[in-house]
Amino acid sequence: MRLPTRHLLGIETLHPRDISAFLDLAESYALLNRSGKTRRDVLRGRTLINLFFEDSTRTRTSFELAGKRLGADVINMSVSTSSVSKGETLLDTAATLNAMNCDLLVVRHKASGAPALLAQKVDAAVINAGDGMHEHPTQALLDALTIRRHKGTLEGLTIAICGDIAHSRVARSNILLLIAMGSQVRVVGPPTLIPSGIEQFGVSVFHDMREGLRDADIVMALRLQTERMSGGLIPSAREFFTFYGLDAAKLALAKPDALVMHPGPMNRGVEIDSQVADDVTRSVIREQVEMGVAVRMAVLDVLARTALRNA
């Protein structure tokens, strides 16, 4: 597998062939992880630094686990106790880590484009772990892997992404990936939470959940990203749940075997009802988390090999 760059900054730059190759490799890691044979030598002697300027449970932990399972030395930078709190800039922080000969730098930042900026300044391979409202490529890859494991393909599936599309990097990366792989993508939400012109990405827009979920194969609920909202975009969380919260009645409009997904963290009773989130016959939310480790192992593996080839 040959990536166009030595970094993973977004889905936008990936060819469908790269996406399939990532998913195939991640599938093999998923099987290895389930077998308990997780220790590999792929990253032995390599250093992975997790640099998270925003909170995270799933992404940070799974990159740490993925790096350790592949034999890397893994360091988690705590930004709140680092010299960032003394005013050190993002670029100076990255230059400092670069001087320690870090090989892989996993970055989450509230500013769109921050990982791309770092990628121009450091020798390490940079992986975007979520930048503002821009992209979250490994989340889209793990979502795709989860779907493919259940449906066998992404092509031809109808996938409804519901809720706060406007502020969601998960929505953006998923739309780019799923359209590239031949899915029919619908975005469903109130007009205030759907960016104007989003149709140019090839998606259909719905403001009524009953229409948007009808005969869907996959229903993906997204959290209201209140930390990125300025002003009141919804009347109240309670009203949002009434019209756009994924509950059993709304899910009944999708196909009988439709899967329920959520990238997490969930706000129960806001964008998703507990009965639906915890229904093991429909919800694959826990499996998404499991696939997150496998996908991140595949990404670290490929980027480390790309760096070796370019050395």
Residue ranges binding ligand CP (CB under 6 A): 56-59, 130, 139, 263-265
- What DSSP state is assigned to residue 201? G
Of residues 10 and 130, the one with the C-beta less far from ligand CP:
130
How near is the Cβ of 44 to ligand CP at its closest, in Å?
Answer: 26
CB burial of residue 2 (10 Å; 0-12, 13-18, 19+): exposed
Of residues 171 and 206, the one with the C-beta less far from ligand CP:
171
How near is the Cβ of 7 to ligand CP at its closest, in Å?
Answer: 19
Of residues 58 and 207, the one with the C-beta less far from ligand CP:
58
> Is the C-alpha dihedral spanning 32, 38, 42, 47 positive or negative?
positive
Of residues 56 and 76, the one with the C-beta less far from ligand CP:
56
Measured CA to CA, the distance from residue 137 to residue 127 in angstroms comes to 9
Joined together, the tokens standing for residue 215 give 């005969």
How near is the Cβ of 189 to ligand CP at its closest, in Å?
Answer: 18
> Is the C-alpha dihedral spanning 11, 13, 18, 20 positive or negative?
positive
How near is the Cβ of 18 to ligand CP at its closest, in Å?
Answer: 21
For 62, residues 6+ apart whose C-beta sits below 8 A from its C-beta are: 289, 292, 293, 296
How near is the Cβ of 51 to ligand CP at its closest, in Å?
Answer: 14
Of residues 158 and 225, the one with the C-beta less far from ligand CP:
225
Q: Which residues pair with 187 in a beta bridge?
A: 161, 205
Which residue in this structure is represented by tokens 């780019």? 176
How near is the Cβ of 295 to ligand CP at its closest, in Å?
Answer: 12
Of residues 295 and 306, the one with the C-beta less far from ligand CP:
295
Joined together, the tokens standing for residue 63 give 């990159």
Measured CA to CA, the distance from residue 173 to residue 171 in angstroms comes to 6
How near is the Cβ of 249 to ligand CP at its closest, in Å?
Answer: 26
Measured CA to CA, the distance from residue 9 to residue 28 in angstroms comes to 23
Joined together, the tokens standing for residue 121 give 């300044």
Of residues 58 and 121, the one with the C-beta less far from ligand CP:
58
Measured CA to CA, the distance from residue 213 to residue 24 in angstroms comes to 29
